[in-house]
Amino acid sequence: MAEAIFNDFSPSGYTSYSAGLSCTDGKNVSENSKLALSEIGIQTNHTSVMVNSKLLEEYDIIIGITENHARALILSFPEYKDKIFSFPCNVGDPYGQNLDAYRKCRNTIYEGIKEIISNL
């Protein structure tokens, strides 16, 4: 959801790309993610991609959605530690939960992205 929200609201010239620390490449975004995003006018067809060094090299800023994600990225890819940060809000993972949990996650992500964009 973070990629879709950032790309929908970000200023021109900025692009976000989402990759996971532990995921199955090519898995479609969940239906509840699609529903929660569609409620705010955002459509996505994202499929999961495992984070890798080539992706990290390509981007100027890498944001782990939690502090633990950011730490794991730094441990796995220490050469990029200076451009890895943690998301400004505490985001819970709604995976497998009901639509309300996805809405709550979407709203938290939206608030964090507003903060990130204001600092670009």
pLDDT at 24 over 80: no
pLDDT at 65 over 90: yes
Tokens representing 119 are 């600092």
Comparing CA positions, the residue from 103, 110, 104 lying closest to residue 87 is: 110
Cβ(103)–Cβ(92) under 8 Å? no
Tens-place pLDDT, residues 85-113: 999 999 988 989 999 999 999 999 999 99
pTM for the predicted model, two decimal places: 0.89
pLDDT at position 75 = 97
Tokens representing 43 are 């459509």
pLDDT at position 26 = 75
pLDDT at position 46 = 86
Comparing CA positions, the residue from 48, 43, 46, 76 lying closest to residue 62 is: 76
